[in-house]
Structure 1
Amino acid sequence: MIKGLYEAHLPVSDLERSIKFYESLGLEFDHRIEARVAFLWLEKDKSWLGLWQTDKVNLDYHPSIRHIAFHVELEDLRNSRKWLAERNIEARKAFGFEPIEPFVMPNERYGHAKIHFNDPDGNSLEFICKVEKNNPNVTSNMYLSDWEKANFSPK
Structure 2
Amino acid sequence: MIKGLYEAHLPVSDLNSSIEFYKGLGLEFDHKVEDRLAFLWIEKGKSWLGLWNTDKVETEYHPSIRHVAFEVSLEDLKDSVAWLENKGYTPRRAFGFEPTEPFVMPNPNGNFGHAKIHFNDPDGNSLEFICKVGNPKNLTDRMYLSEWEKLSGLTVN
- 2:135 corresponds to which letter in structure 1? K
CA RMSD of aligned residues (A): 0.8
Q: Report how many residues are paired.
A: 154
Which runs of structure 2 are paired with 1:53-68 in the superposition (5 Å)?
A: 53-68=53-68
Match of residue 128 from structure 2: 126
Identity rate of aligned residues, in percent? 68
TM-score, L = length of structure 1: 0.98
Report how far residue 129 of structure 1 moved. Answer: 0.2
Give the whole-Å Cα distance in 2 for the aligned partners of 1:4 and 1:69. Answer: 13
Match of residue 18 from structure 2: 18
* Matching residue within 103, 108, 117 for 2:119: 117
Give the whole-Å Cα distance in 1 for the aligned partners of 2:65 and 2:154. Answer: 35
Which runs of structure 2 are paired with 1:74-153 in the superposition (5 Å)?
A: 74-107=74-107, 108-136=110-138, 138-153=139-154
- 2:10 corresponds to which letter in structure 1? L
TM-score, L = length of structure 2: 0.96
Give the whole-Å Cα distance in 2 for the aligned partners of 1:20 and 1:63. Answer: 24
Match of residue 3 from structure 2: 3
Report how far residue 81 of structure 1 moved. Answer: 0.6
Give the whole-Å Cα distance in 1 for the aligned partners of 2:22 and 2:128. Answer: 13
Give the whole-Å Cα distance in 1 for the aligned partners of 2:7 and 2:93. Answer: 27
Report how far residue 3 of structure 1 moved. Answer: 1.4
- 1:139 corresponds to which letter in structure 2? T
Give the whole-Å Cα distance in 1 for the aligned partners of 2:154 and 2:31. Answer: 43
Report how far residue 106 of structure 1 moved. Answer: 0.3
Give the whole-Å Cα distance in 1 for the aligned partners of 2:99 and 2:15. Answer: 27
Please list every run of at least 4 consecutive aligned residues from structure 1 whose deviation after the TM superposition is greater than 3 angstroms.
none
Report how far residue 89 of structure 1 moved. Answer: 0.2
- 2:13 corresponds to which letter in structure 1? S
Give the whole-Å Cα distance in 1 for the aligned partners of 2:91 and 2:29. Answer: 24
Report how far residue 131 of structure 1 moved. Answer: 0.1
Give the whole-Å Cα distance in 2 for the aligned partners of 1:34 and 1:69. Answer: 27
Give the whole-Å Cα distance in 2 for the aligned partners of 1:87 and 1:44. Answer: 22
Give the whole-Å Cα distance in 1 for the aligned partners of 2:22 and 2:103. Answer: 23
Report how far residue 86 of structure 1 moved. Answer: 1.2
Give the whole-Å Cα distance in 2 for the aligned partners of 1:82 and 1:126. Answer: 14
